[in-house]
Amino acid sequence: MSRMTMIQAIRSGMDNAMEKDDNVVVFGEDVGFFGGVFRCTQGLQEKYGRQRCFDAPISESGIIGAAIGMGVYGLRPCVEIQFADYMYPGYDQITQEAARIRYRSNGDFTVPMVVRMPTGGGIFGGQTHSQSPEALFAHVSGIKTVIPSNPYDAKGLLIASIEDEDPVMFLEPKRLYNGPFDGHHDRPVTPWSKHEMGEVPDDYYTVPLGKAAVRREGADVTLLVYGTMVYVAEAAAQEAGVDAEIIDLRTILPLDLETIEESVKKTGRCVIVHEATKTCGFGAELMAIVAESCFYHLEAPIIRVTGYDTPYPHAHEWDYFPGPKRVGDALKKVMEAA
C-alpha cells in the first residue's frame, strides 16, 4: 500500500491496466514524452513504447474519432483531453458515434473507450479552463460518466472504466489532484500523503461503477455531492453544526438510486451541491429523482447549491465557487423549514 496523489493513482491505474491487457492504449495531446499537462501519464511511454502511449495532434475531434475506431476494432483506448473545456470539438464524435454504436449495431459492436479530462475550477483557470460539463454527458444515452473524489477511488474507477464495454467519460477534479480541498482557499491544503484516502494499493483492483459511497453518516439531512464538493460538504456540515449524511455519488451515470433513496427517506431532507452552473445542471436531475421517489418522506423543500449561470469568472472565482458558507447556509435553511 502506497501513499499517492490523485495524479499518481490515475497513472498507476493506467499502468496496471496496460500491464494486464495489451489492447489498452493511451494517447492524447502531450501525453507521451511529456507525460501530460498534469503529468498523469508520465513514464508510460518509456515503459510501454510509442505504439501504446503516444502523442496526438491538437485535434480533439481527431483524438475521439481515432479512439472510437480503435474501440470498435478491439482495442481499449484511454485518451486524455487536456481540459474538459476542450472536449467540445469532439462532442459530436462522443454523442453521435461513440454513444450510438452499440444501439445502432444491435449489440454487434461496442466502443470500450475512456475519455479522461480534468474538470472544475479552484485553480484560477478562468472561463476556458474551469468548466464542469458532466450534465452534457449525462443527458446522452449510451455514455457512462465517472467523477472520483480521491486517489483510491480514482484508480479503482479508472481501471473499471477501461474494462467497461461502453464509452466512459472520466472527469478528474483538478483541484483535488494534489490534495483534498474543502473550499477554504485561504487555508493550507492537506496533502494526500496525510489523508486516509491517499492510501492506494500498488496492484490491480477496481471500484464498481454505479455504486455511491457514504462519506459521512448523519440523521438530519442528506447531502448529494461528487468530486471536489465532497470535501466542501464535509467542512460545511461541521461548521454549521448539522448532522448531515454525505453521499459521494462517484458515478452520475450509472447512478446509485438505492443509496440516494435510502438516505433521503431516513433524513427527510436533501441538499444537492455541484460546481457546474445551476440551470440544467445535474443537480436538477437529482432533484427530480428525489422528488419522484422520496416525496412523502421529505420534511422540507430540496435545495441546490451550485455555480452561477455565468462563465467561470477569473477575478471572482471564490464568489462563484460553492464554498462552505453557501453550503452551510443551505443546510441551516433546510433544517429551519417546517
Say what the pLDDT of residue 338 is: 61
- Provide the pairing of β-strand 168-173 with 144-146: parallel
Q: How many residues does the chain have?
A: 338
Neighbouring C-beta atoms of residue 304, cutoff 10 Å: 18
- Distance, CA of 28 to CA of 86 (rounded, Å): 12
Residues marked active site are found at 129
pLDDT tens-place string over residues 41-77: 999 999 999 999 999 999 999 999 999 999 999 999 9
pLDDT tens-place string over residues 166-186: 999 999 999 999 999 999 999
- Distance, CA of 145 to CA of 143 (rounded, Å): 7
Neighbouring C-beta atoms of residue 115, cutoff 10 Å: 28
Neighbouring C-beta atoms of residue 202, cutoff 10 Å: 12
Q: Quick one: average pLDDT of 32-38?
A: 95
pTM over 0.85: yes
pLDDT tens-place string over residues 67-115: 999 999 999 999 999 999 999 999 999 999 999 999 999 999 999 999 9
pLDDT tens-place string over residues 191-216: 999 998 999 999 999 999 999 999 99
Neighbouring C-beta atoms of residue 105, cutoff 10 Å: 11
pLDDT tens-place string over residues 246-255: 999 999 999 9
186's grid cell: 485561504
pLDDT tens-place string over residues 248-291: 999 999 999 999 999 999 999 999 999 999 999 999 999 999 99
